[in-house]
Amino acid sequence: MPLQTLEPQRLYRQIADQLRALIEAGEFAVGARLPAERELAVQLGVSRPSVREALIAMEVEGWVEVRTGSGVYVLDRTGLGRNVQVPPAEWGPLELIRARRVVEGEIAALAAVQARRKDLNAMEQAMVAMRRDTALGILPLDGDRAFHLAIVQACGNGVLTETVQTFWDSRRGPLFTRLGGYFETVDSWRAAIEEHEAIVAAIRAHDGPAARAAMQDHMDKSHTRFSASWRSAKPG
């Protein structure tokens, strides 16, 4: 038998594979509630965010159902048509936010030194779009993307620009979309817009350390919002 190419797996995928194997082995019957995230994290020796990413992947693929305020339940897959698969290379949403904290924190600090009037205008226009959409009850995703791209474009580095584009566009993947469906609301975006205002104020003041801190604070709070208890989530 010829050797098969090995592909590195995301941690959340390894967790999902273990849980799926237990379901297939009958350890968790159809309709059963899975252990809480905290308990799974302890048993598996991983972080709760990684467990959450795994559960979201399993929900996207039809193995479980998240019932807000109740728990995560095993679904009956008999008669299920074509299986939905999360792309193997899909980044975990919470892991992505932590990476963005590192990279975009430094980008904000650099932008504070290098930003010109046109760059600040682009940031401010993106903020206007975000406020307008939020006032209309629309999640301001387009304005958010424009805001973060305006910051990195102020740095004048094509590699950084493509990196941020890839980071941001990854939030349109199935995992981030499903997780956002539970925790992104107009109210949460109002809070995020205030965090954006602190970032642009620091860049406008050409204060690199303050811009870095404001971006890192924004990412920390984003991570907290997506890590909140399922009890506070919207119905899926």
Note the pLDDT tens digit of each residue in 73-106.
999 987 665 567 888 889 999 999 999 999 999 9
Q: Quick check: is 160 in a domain?
A: yes
The total number of structural domains that make up the chain: 2
| The pair of three-digit structure tokens given for residue 127, joined into one six-digit string | 């903020």
Q: Specify whether 136 is located in the same domain as 219.
A: yes
Does 1 map to a domain? Answer: no
pLDDT tens sequence across 184-231 = 999 999 999 999 999 999 999 999 999 999 999 999 999 999 998 887
Same domain, 226 and 109: yes
Where a domain ends, among 46, 74, 102?
A: 74
| In contact, 28 and 67? CB cutoff 8 Å | no
Q: Which of 173, 141, 165 is nearest to 60 (CA)?
A: 173
| 99 lies in the same domain as 145 | yes
CA distance 155 to 122: 13
pLDDT band with cut points at 50, 70 and 90 for residue 6: very low
Is the pLDDT at 232 greater than 90? The verdict is no
- Quick one: pLDDT at residue 82? 58
* Shared domain check, 108 and 222: yes
Q: How confident is the model at residue 115 (pLDDT cuts 50, 70, 90)?
A: very high
Which residue would you say has higher pLDDT here, 142 or 234? 142
Measured from the Cβ of residue 90, the count of other Cβ atoms closer than 10 Å reads 20
Per the structure, the complete domain to which residue 23 belongs is given by: 11-74
C-alpha torsion angle, residues 48, 54, 55, 57 (rounded to 10): 150
- Do 60 and 136 reside in the same domain of the chain? no
Please indicate, yes or no, if residue 84 is contained in any of the structural domains: no
pLDDT of 31 above 70 = yes
Query: Is 79 inside any structural domain?
Result: no
Whether 113 and 157 share a structural domain: yes
Measure the CA–CA gap between 13 and 3, rounded to whole angstroms. Answer: 22
Residue 99 structure tokens: 């990476």
Task: Kindly tell me if the per-residue pLDDT of 24 is higher than 70.
Answer: yes
pLDDT value, residue 78: 79
CATH number, position 184: 1.20.120.530
Instruction: Tell me the pTM.
Output: 0.90
- Verify that 60 and 134 share a domain, yes or no: no
Residue 131 lies inside a defined structural domain of this protein: yes
Evaluate if residue 9 carries a pLDDT over 80. Answer: no
Looking at the fold, whether 105 and 176 belong to one and the same domain comes out as yes
| Residue 2 within a domain | no
For residue 58, the domain's CATH number is: 1.10.10.10
Q: What is the mean pLDDT of the segment spanning 16-44?
A: 93
Based on the fold, state whether residues 61 and 146 are members of the same structural domain: no
58 & 150 share domain: no
37 & 106 share domain: no
Nearest-angstrom CA–CA distance, 14 and 101: 24
Instruction: Please report whether residue 6 resides in a domain.
Output: no
- Looking at the fold, whether 97 and 214 belong to one and the same domain comes out as yes
For residue 3, what pLDDT band results from cuts at 50, 70 and 90?
A: low
Residue 69: φ, ψ to 5°: 80, 0
